[in-house]
Structure 1
Amino acid sequence: MARAKSSTMALALGLLVMTLVGECYGQCGDNFKVGYYDGKCGKVNVEAIVFQVVKKHFNEDKDTIADLIRLQFHDCFVRGCDASILLEGEDTEKTARNNLSVDGYDIIEDAKVALDKYCPGVVSCADIIVLAARAATYLGGAEWYAVETGRKDGRTSLASDAKQLPRRDIPIPAAVDLFASFGLDTHDFVYLLGCHTVGTAHCENIEDRLYNFNGGADPTMNSDLASSLKMKCPRNANSTEEAFLDQTYGSEFVLDNAYFKRIIEGKGILKVDQELALDPLTKDIVIQTAADETIFRTRIGPSMRKMGLIGVLTEGEVRIGTCKKVR
């Protein structure tokens, strides 16, 4: 599995997002709650099965952390958390240009197959994504957090809908507004972007900061970092190389606050990373998180949980046997 890629995302300000925010949170009773699957798959602990599958992949490939966190983001920010990104076929979300570098599909499929051996068609692919991302977040060093389950799987998946994902160069104020429209506040935005601490970016997504400022690097980028990145990503080289978004040695696969420390030092790789430390809307949160190593570790979980409430379907189908096609 390739390293998790930075989000090459596209912005559509005309989102119909208010209808997608988890409106059934606290109102769905037994249809959507923590522990929804208790007793619904015989004596099998559904959440434990998902965790075991994720841990197996994690032991083989540490990119599993970033892959699954990013997969949840790309699913939930398009049509809500309905596993529509998993559907295969012509012109599905999975085929959209800004989803081509998304990974982790095989992990979700492995969990689905494992669960359907015990209780076919009971556990939704949408829930597996959220449970798997929770497991990955924990394995990355963050605090464990509870998640609601009971989601149903969507039947519609359109590549054109992926245009709703934010661009990697989205201005911070626009990003804050976009996240707010999904029910996520500024702190959530900062912490979720902080997951770049375990991500990477392709050279093609970095070159604009290295060469497009009168032929030189973005002046907000640390000069030593710029020189190092230019060696990895030569101008117009069509390089397939990647760079860690957090280049703190030993921290590449750990959900810690090293990313926040680096962007304060001008060592953000993507434009949005660096601007997070400079914009008045987010600067203070970045400084606080960089100064206290417990903040990110304890608060990324609740922000992931809130993201999992976007566009929840509590009526409809649960895919059976595979997450790749509708029932």
Structure 2
Amino acid sequence: MVSIALKVLLVPLATLLLVLGSTSAQLSVDYYSKTCPNAEEIVRKEMIQILSVAPSLAGPFLRLHFHDCFVRGCDGSVLLNATSGNTAEKDAKPNLSLRGFGSVERVKAKLEKACPNTVSCADVLALMARDSVWLSKGPTWPVSLGRRDGRISIANETKQLPPPTANLTQLIQMFAIKGLDLKDLVVLSGAHTIGTAHCAGIKDRLYNFTGKNNLNDVDPFLDPHYIAKLRSKCSSTDTTTLIEMDPGSYKTFDLSYYKQVAKRRSAFHSDWALLTDQFTRDYVLKHANGFEAEFFQDFSESMIKMGDIGVLTGSQGEIRKTCSIVNY
């Protein structure tokens, strides 16, 4: 199978340089060493308590960080509420299934009590995402800090988020615009090893796939036995039921996701798309058979890279006191 990666790297060079230039802003792992030295400890303590009660929130916390970084960069804009004159990102269709906003405010409140007006909501998301993975038995990594919070959140800009129906050509282009390459794409897709998805996001693969409107009109690239299992949980009109993205292992960060993709038992079309390119297919098949330490290292590196997308620093933006509203 010939790689299609080179066929889709059509993003204008100027656009890529703009994105990559913005990610070179000065962040550092010791950014709060003097102003809030216990910041990471405070976040970790709260995360341990939150996930001990609701372990299924690990996936949503990781997803919040991803959805934040892909729209306006990692600036906490996904957390902002809509106003009378503006519909915010969180109210756009791709984000209606996001969860965990209350927990973010809980962590932020603890930080405000310890270090008022110091730690940004964008940094809180980055730390919560890292701790979510680690507390799910996955890797940990150093999080560079110093992001500032944006004051703008626009629903229409969520079109930059890779949809679950995307093919690999679309995915490569959307990741490339953010300065992420083909390896980042297949590695970060591994985040689907934890968390759940709504039936609404996968029912197009189970019913009326090509518009024939009969029970046999399903996605031919989905394992028939898995189709039957999903149909037992998701009706053609279901919009609320949650299914495990990594069945049987959705609370543990491991290699099981790649095993499911290799067996054509992945929930989203975008997961199956990883099998349509030689490089991503080889990565999936390799890690479906082991090499966990390598995947953990790769995931850590890609998360660090993603966390640098379009960050605000210095005098840009602000440090919100409450993550859902801008300061006044």
**Scaled by the length of structure 2, what TM-score is found?**
0.87
1:267 corresponds, among 242, 265, 268, to: 265
In the TM superposition, residue 83 of structure 1 has moved relative to its aligned partner by 0.5
Secondary structure of 2:287's aligned partner: helix
Q: What is the CA–CA distance in structure 2 between the aligned matches of 1:311 and 1:156, rounded to whole Å?
A: 14
- Does the 8 Å CA contact 1:261/1:290 hold for their aligned counterparts? yes
Residue pair 2:94, 2:158 contacting (<8 A) in 1 also:
yes
What is the CA RMSD across the aligned residues, in angstroms? 2.0
Deviation at 1:146, TM superposition (A): 0.6
Q: Which amino acid aligns with 1:232?
A: K
The separation in 1 between residues aligned to 2:253 and 2:82, in whole angstroms, is: 34
Cα offset, 1:24, TM superposition: 4.7
What residue in structure 2 maps to residue 3 of structure 1?
none
SS of residue in 1 equivalent to 2:258: helix
Q: Tell me the CA shift for residue 221 of structure 1.
A: 1.2
* Cα distance in 2, alignment partners of residues 85 and 101 from structure 1: 12
1:198 matched residue in structure 2: 194
Matches within 5 A, 1:221-260: 221-235=222-236, 237-247=237-247, 249=248, 251-260=249-258
Measure, in 2, the Cα distance between the counterparts of 1:299 and 1:106: 30
Choose from 27, 31, 35 the match for 1:40: 35
Distance 2:57 2:298 in 1: 20
For 2:62 and 2:38, the matched residues in 1 are separated by 22
Query: How much identity, in percent, do the aligned residues show?
Result: 37
What residue number does 1:296 align with? Answer: 295
Quote the Cα distance in structure 1 between the aligned partners of 2:177 and 2:40.
30
Instruction: Summarize deviations over 1:110-138 as a string: whole Å, max 9, x none.
Output: 11111111221111111111111111111
Q: Do the aligned partners of 2:163 and 2:270 also contact (CA within 8 Å) in 1?
A: no
Q: CA deviation at 1:298?
A: 2.7
AA matched with 2:310: G
Instruction: Work out the CA distance in 2 between the residues paired with 1:136 and 1:255.
Output: 9
Q: Does 1:56 align with 2:49?
A: yes
- Partner residue of 1:138? 134
> Quick one: distance in 2 between partners of 1:158 and 1:320?
18
2:149–2:320 Cα contact (<8 Å) kept: no
Asked whether the 8 Å contact 1:203–1:243 carries over to 2, the reply is yes
Please say if 1:209 is aligned against 2:205. Answer: yes
Q: In the TM superposition, what is the alpha-carbon distance from 1:239 to its structure 2 partner?
A: 4.7
| 2:3 counterpart residue number | none
Runs of 4+ in 1 over 4 A off after TM superposition: 13-18
**How far apart, CA to CA, are the structure 2 residues paired with 1:120 and 1:261?**
45
- Report how many residues are paired: 306
Contact 1:142/1:301, CA 8 A, preserved across alignment:
no
Name the SS of the counterpart of 2:301 in structure 1.
helix
- In 2, the alpha carbon distance for the partners of 1:310 and 1:75 equals 10
Structure 2 vs 1, CA of residues 16 and 199 (structure 1 numbering), >3 Å: closer, same or farther? farther
What amino acid sits opposite 2:74 in the alignment? C
The two structures have a TM-score, normalised by structure 1, of: 0.88
Match of 2:306 in 1: 307
Matches within 5 A, 1:79-94: 79-90=72-83, 91-94=87-90
CA contact (8 A) 1:71 1:129 kept: yes
What is the correspondence of 1:71-150 to structure 2 with a 5 Å cutoff?
71-90=64-83, 91-150=87-146
- Provide the secondary structure at the position in 1 that maps to 2:243: strand
For 1:223-280, what per-residue CA distance to the aligned partner results, in whole angstroms no more than 9, with x for missing partners?
1111111121223x33522211111x2x111111111011111111211111212333
